[in-house]
A and B are shown apart, each in its own frame.
Chain A
Amino acid sequence: MWLSLNLAASLREDVYWTMTGAETRASRWPAASWSAYFALAVAGFRRHATYRQAMAAAIFTNTIFGFLRCAMLLAAAGANAGSVAGYDEARLVTFVWAGQGLIGVVLIWAPTELADRIRTGDVIADLLRPVDLVWQHLAADLGRAGLAVFTRLLGPIAVGSIFFTLFWPRRLLTYPLFVCSIALGTVVCFGCRYLVNAAAYWLLDARGPLTAWTLVSGLLGGLYFPLWFLPRAVALSLVMGTPFPSTIQLPLDILVERGSTAHQMALLCTQAGWAIAMLALCHWVQRLGERRLVAQGG
């Protein structure tokens, strides 16, 4: 219903192309055109722009947690001459407020839309469309994230800047790097959420994996404390070896200029690596899941 007319038009072209194409296979549709994905992204943006009250409630919640986390981290810094694990007070405060904003951009708390559709069998209708399911969801999610940058991210940062002295990046380059980092963080987080939802192909009820994700994403994403509070070797292996820090911790480290520009670039490359890995994994799991769906007669 939320697909725009524009999308419907480009989909029709693709269906036509597929029908007349030599290689028509029931389960492997060709990729839809860029315009279809763009329309999906716009639809994602517009869809979430209608949930204004839920958005206001979410920003309120993020703001309250911003105050609470600031109090804890500043208390920890206060006992250590104003600096802890390489973050001074301004950086800590910025870490908290931008972090609360990023929750809504990368969307840590996963909606169960896809899992529900798998459980009820509605996903069959999605698979019939001539659009790759992973790309389709990613496009809509990026549209949603685009809206969230202007609402969920800027909201808490604005509140934080009123009540605290925030750290503003000193290098001009940090700003574009931060924007890229948010985009990559969103893709990585999307990949994780997709995989968690796709567990429903096997479990039907994906609530268990969702719980595990909520737990791990918050902890290893850097929401409860900056990961560098952990022993350096542990933090480093988490950053390199798991996708979770790429969602929130790394964008925040880039924002508060932890280390040189080269260091920021290294963090960005880590994120890019995880983004590619997660998308590949999503496609692989989706293929396995489709076979599983057939086995269940869905």
Chain B
Amino acid sequence: MAALMIGGAGERLAAYGHLVRAQVRSQAQYRTSLVVDVVGSVAFGVLDVVTVIVFFRVTSDLAGFSFPEVFLMTTLTSCAFSLADLCVGNVERLRFFVRTGLFDAVLVRPLGTLVQLLAMDIAPRRVGRVVLGVALVVTAAVHAHVPASPAHIALLVVTPLAGAVIFSSIFVATSSVTFWWIESGEFGNALTYGGHDFASYPLNIYGAALRRIFAYGLGFAFVAYYPTLSLLGRTDPLGAPAFLGYASPLIALFTAGVAALFWRLGIRHYRSTGS
């Protein structure tokens, strides 16, 4: 089999590049749909913010947090999520590949399975939401008076990236469930989109059980909540130590490792359709 493998990393990258470009070109054929898609993608980003603004229209604070504070959490989450959605969001379509047996075609090619799947399904339209996400994080940081020291700016840059890795890991891990449970349907949405909603708000509005599962079990507390506390120099009303605000990259590495493990186990379990 070794002879069949595409040699160097460079060649492999070129192959992925071809897949991505082909996908982008094919989507650009339906121009009207693409434009509407990009607008729609931006609008989803706006929606995240609108919800928080509307909430603060009817209330002055959310569990002791003011609007600028919650707004920063929401925008950090939105930015991280849109980045993850752009890169790996379409892995959700894995269940279609598994159900139809199309995944066979992915397996026989001499390229990594996950990257292939992502390259084949990339959604360029989602760039719009990422751009908006970045702009909103900057706005929220200024609005919340985040100090302009190098440490704070570094944390502000790293947080959405780490958050994107956490969301991506959850996307991949929940999609892998389809290897065992083909008709898992919307199951993954509860953890991915649910995680997005969870991370957008302060931790102390949730009950203990939800916190245990989403904040610590799945790592969503590190997407925005703890980093925001550090950025604003606030102490956690739940009593967590301050250094947790800087722990997001570590947590992201860990979740990525777990997701990779899930993926590998899933692939081993894959049995095609038998047709």
Q: A205 to B183, Cβ gap below 8 A? A: no
How far is it, in angstroms, between the C-alpha of A209 and the C-alpha of B206 when the chains are bound? 35
B115 at the interface (CB under 8 A from A): no
Contact pattern, A 58-92, Cβ under 8 Å of B = 1, otherwise 0: 10110111011101101111111000110000000
Q: Is the interface of A mostly helix, strand, loop or mixed?
A: helix
**Chain B residues whose CB sits within 8 angstroms of the CB of A205 once the complex forms:** 30, 33
- A208 partner, pick from B37, B59, B185, beta carbons under 8 A: B37
**In whole Å, how far is A175's beta carbon from the nearest beta carbon of chain B?**
29
The count of residues in chain A whose C-beta lies closer than 8 Å to any C-beta of chain B is: 42
A53 at the interface (CB under 8 A from B): yes
**Chain A residues whose CB sits within 8 angstroms of the CB of B184 once the complex forms:** 53, 57
When C-beta atoms are compared, the residue in chain B nearest to A230 turns out to be B54
- A230 partner, pick from B57, B59, B189, B197, beta carbons under 8 A: B57
Q: B183 to A54, Cβ gap below 8 A? A: yes
- A225 partner, pick from B39, B54, B60, B197, beta carbons under 8 A: B54
- B185 partner, pick from A54, A67, A84, beta carbons under 8 A: A54
**Chain A residues whose CB sits within 8 angstroms of the CB of B207 once the complex forms:** 67, 71
Interface stretch, picked from A37-45, A184-192, A211-219, A244-252, is A211-219
B210 at the interface (CB under 8 A from A): yes
When C-beta atoms are compared, the residue in chain B nearest to A73 turns out to be B55
How far is it, in angstroms, between the C-alpha of A33 and the C-alpha of B184 when the chains are bound? 38
How far is it, in angstroms, between the C-alpha of A231 and the C-alpha of B55 when the chains are bound? 12
**In whole Å, how far is A39's beta carbon from the nearest beta carbon of chain B?**
26
**Chain B residues whose CB sits within 8 angstroms of the CB of A78 once the complex forms:** 63
Q: B186 to A211, Cβ gap below 8 A? A: no
Q: A61 to B47, Cβ gap below 8 A? A: no
B75 at the interface (CB under 8 A from A): no
**In whole Å, how far is A93's beta carbon from the nearest beta carbon of chain B?**
13
Given known contacts A71-B206, A79-B61, A208-B32, A225 and B55 CB-to-CB distance under 8 angstroms: yes
B187 at the interface (CB under 8 A from A): yes
Given known contacts A84-B58, A225-B51, A60 and B36 CB-to-CB distance under 8 angstroms: no
**In whole Å, how far is B37's beta carbon from the nearest beta carbon of chain A?**
5
A15 at the interface (CB under 8 A from B): no
Q: B186 to A80, Cβ gap below 8 A? A: no
**In whole Å, how far is B201's beta carbon from the nearest beta carbon of chain A?**
6
How far is it, in angstroms, between the C-alpha of A80 and the C-alpha of B207 when the chains are bound? 19
Contact pattern, A 135-157, Cβ under 8 Å of B = 1, otherwise 0: 00000000000000000000000
A203 at the interface (CB under 8 A from B): yes
A284 at the interface (CB under 8 A from B): no
**Chain A residues whose CB sits within 8 angstroms of the CB of B186 once the complex forms:** 54, 57-58, 60-61
B181 at the interface (CB under 8 A from A): yes
Q: A76 to B59, Cβ gap below 8 A? A: yes
How far is it, in angstroms, between the C-alpha of A64 and the C-alpha of B47 when the chains are bound? 20
**In whole Å, how far is B206's beta carbon from the nearest beta carbon of chain A?**
5
How far is it, in angstroms, between the C-alpha of A219 and the C-alpha of B53 when the chains are bound? 13
When C-beta atoms are compared, the residue in chain A nearest to B51 turns out to be A224
How far is it, in angstroms, between the C-alpha of A209 and the C-alpha of B185 when the chains are bound? 22
B96 at the interface (CB under 8 A from A): no
Q: B198 to A212, Cβ gap below 8 A? A: no
Given known contacts A51-B183, A215-B43, A215-B44, A229 and B55 CB-to-CB distance under 8 angstroms: yes
**In whole Å, how far is B86's beta carbon from the nearest beta carbon of chain A?**
15
- A80 partner, pick from B41, B59, B194, beta carbons under 8 A: B59
Q: B58 to A85, Cβ gap below 8 A? A: yes
Q: A208 to B55, Cβ gap below 8 A? A: no
**In whole Å, how far is A276's beta carbon from the nearest beta carbon of chain B?**
28
Q: B187 to A60, Cβ gap below 8 A? A: yes
A48 at the interface (CB under 8 A from B): no
B50 at the interface (CB under 8 A from A): yes
Given known contacts A76-B62, A80-B59, A203 and B194 CB-to-CB distance under 8 angstroms: no
Q: B187 to A208, Cβ gap below 8 A? A: no
Q: A229 to B43, Cβ gap below 8 A? A: no
B261 at the interface (CB under 8 A from A): no
- A84 partner, pick from B47, B59, B63, beta carbons under 8 A: B59
- B190 partner, pick from A61, A72, A209, A231, beta carbons under 8 A: A61
B101 at the interface (CB under 8 A from A): no
A207 at the interface (CB under 8 A from B): yes
**In whole Å, how far is A148's beta carbon from the nearest beta carbon of chain B?**
14
Q: A229 to B32, Cβ gap below 8 A? A: no
A240 at the interface (CB under 8 A from B): no
**Chain B residues whose CB sits within 8 angstroms of the CB of A61 once the complex forms:** 186-187, 189-190, 194
When C-beta atoms are compared, the residue in chain B nearest to A69 turns out to be B197
Which parts of B184-204 form the interface with A (CB within 8 Å)? 184-187, 189-191, 193-194, 197-198, 201
Q: B197 to A229, Cβ gap below 8 A? A: no
**Chain B residues whose CB sits within 8 angstroms of the CB of A207 once the complex forms:** 33, 37
How far is it, in angstroms, between the C-alpha of A231 and the C-alpha of B30 when the chains are bound? 39
When C-beta atoms are compared, the residue in chain B nearest to A84 turns out to be B58
How far is it, in angstroms, between the C-alpha of A126 and the C-alpha of B179 when the chains are bound? 34
20 pairs across A/B with beta carbons < 8 Å? A51-B183, A54-B186, A60-B187, A61-B186, A64-B194, A65-B193, A67-B210, A68-B198, A72-B201, A72-B205, A76-B62, A77-B59, A79-B60, A80-B58, A207-B37, A208-B32, A208-B35, A209-B36, A219-B47, A229-B58
Task: For the A-B complex with A208-B39, A212-B43, A229-B54 known, give 4 more contacts whose Cβ atoms are closer than 8 Å.
Answer: A57-B183, A68-B194, A75-B63, A80-B58
